[in-house]
A and B are shown apart, each in its own frame.
Chain A
């Protein structure tokens, strides 16, 4: 028996945009969010901005960012791992997404309010992701979308001639729901420790998931089992360096460590392993994700002195301090002689004029300053995983495709679960939210049209 026209699986930005778009297209919509109400919204809760194409300044975005510019940014970070047709649809539709979101209750922040950094590529929503999520849930509710929390979709079945079905685990046990169409918008598998261990090995247990604990990838796996073509790379994820004392999930933006480039970074053996000065711009966070994940035990330490410490924003966790490098090493559980040796070799290699090192392996190519003024300080660092880079292949209408490129009947995908079609490698600020909103809207409309055909 058909429960409703469109079932949307997920509760983040992509799911909400799909639900709203489907409802506005006349379909009856049921949205299944696996999180409880207080933690609804997936990783969108931790998000901040949309990357949008635009021909000139608007109240919410400065300058100009045209389609060619957008496309070349995507090509650069992905190294060409992108579907041009899907990417073009993303770029084209991104131009109108801010207006559509505003119509659906989302408020954007005035680009010239003196608080936001200059941005010609992204528009910031007022109050961050949770306020966006609240606004979209309110709109969905007002439009008559039925929302169910604590409802995890366990299984997806293909259409038996006319309708796909989903099996939901909710408070009353399991339930099978049939729908005219299903939109899968349930994110990646970054919170699924077992799956991560399968693909990444032991390091999976050493990393922190920066977002929702509900990104288990159950639906992603289900779609792949149904024959959906995979896209992207299960062995790859977007990671940044976070304070090792971060909570296991949902640390969001605040646990990122800012100062790694300023001092030195050592592994648990007290040895440096990378050029700390390689990235001092916006990429300074993400460049460390992979580096630290590869360290023994998945842990590293940011080491600085009290002069260097003034140059970066502190961690939200207390600085571990000691009067000498040896004592600091003891406090961190590193052999004191090893850290002392590393620090003195580093100090000795600094060229006073250039701000870099000479004859050191690995070198520090920029902002090299001696670690000499006590008290000395340190933060423990781990890799924080934002999202995984494995998805299902879709076309530009958000239809999930099998390995022959044939759409699975009545099944659509939006958001991180299909993001690797566009961004198979790397990351661009604000791109995940744009993929979620743009393909959420497309998937919602397409699903409604499919269900009501």
Chain B
């Protein structure tokens, strides 16, 4: 982003929030307005903090007496989306990779496609034809195609790197917010932040939010829950499978009614429904409060998750046919691509938002001392 663009973006967001702070009609919608109320002058640090409290629910925009065509041209969700995206870029680790947030969808989709293509190519080159296209769901059938060490190793290294990079980015963001308010009580703050994060209280909690237009709905929250808890179920499936394999000596593939398959299937369906639903809501949404240049990054993450889930479910469906081998390679590639891009894409909104919610909760629990 060019310098003047960035400063115009900050100025616009600051101007919008100053007007919001003088109005505060929206203070019942989400945690942002309470945190804003506690501030008189807004620094860049405040903008970075407040932008990540915003869940882009847009209820405030449709309730805004200063939104266009008003002379003030207030567009809080759009302004904050841009600042928020800027915070991902500013705190990416290693720092130079922050530029991947520009035209982010190109990077994310390219990495995913390359990962899938590479897995397929390597598989075709190295895996014997009879193993790759062999039929049968005997124990260790997956490892016939790709050895366990390669699956676990490649996924482990990629996920490990991602965790490290995400951790460093969140650490950098958290530190940039300055010292924690004195006297803040951590335990109740953690409890509040966790509750807000797992329930998405600020996204359509209570009245609902403006998923598509001025009418309030809870669809976005429900689809997000389906997707996020779907991902959680898939991780749980992997964890259970690891225990089965290593502690109990039961090798994959597992029967349809086993815990890993049930959890994975449920999670996979949740992800399909959630990502498709979120993309569908986005398609029909009133474009005015959205930042059009950021839609790509959102859709890229949804597409990645959809691909991971669809390939995983397809793998389950065809695991007793000759298509199992190639599909395993596609699934593995999509998972690797997903892991590799996590720290450099829309996924960062999760940990950043949790950090901002925790910060807001700490401020509240310091203020009411």
Contact = CB atoms under 8 A, between A and B. Distances in A.
Interface of A: 38-39, 45-46, 48, 107, 109-110, 113-116, 124, 126-131, 134, 138, 247, 250, 252-254, 256, 310, 313-314, 316
A252 B26 contact: no
B157 interface: no
A115 B28 contact: yes
A117 to B, nearest CB: 10
A46 B66 CA distance: 9
10 contacts: A45-B65, A115-B24, A126-B28, A126-B207, A127-B25, A247-B71, A252-B65, A253-B23, A254-B66, A313-B40
Contact of A316 (B18, B207, B215, B216): B18
Interface in B188-208: 206-207
A149 to B, nearest CB: 13
Interface string B338-369: 00000000000000000000000000100000
B308 to A, nearest CB: 38
Contacts of B216: 107
Contacts of B1: none
A130 B28 contact: no
Contacts of B23: 128, 252-254
B63 A130 contact: yes
Given A126-B206, A131-B59, 6 more contacts: A110-B28, A115-B27, A116-B28, A128-B26, A254-B19, A254-B66
Contacts of B207: 107, 126-127
A127 B59 contact: yes
Contacts of A124: 28
Contacts of B40: 310, 313-314
Nearest to A132: B63
A269 B203 CA distance: 53
Contacts of A138: 214-215
B62 A130 contact: yes
A134 B22 contact: no
Contact of B63 (A110, A127, A254): A127
B49 interface: no
A300 to B, nearest CB: 20
Contacts of A256: 22
Given A128-B23, A128-B25, A115 B63 contact: no
Interface string B1-44: 00000000000000000110111111111000110010011000
A114 B31 CA distance: 11
A115 B33 contact: yes
B35 to A, nearest CB: 11
A135 to B, nearest CB: 9
Nearest to B207: A107
B258 to A, nearest CB: 46
A439 B28 CA distance: 27
Nearest to A314: B40
B64 interface: yes
A256 to B, nearest CB: 8
Nearest to A312: B40
Nearest to B27: A115
Nearest to B367: A114
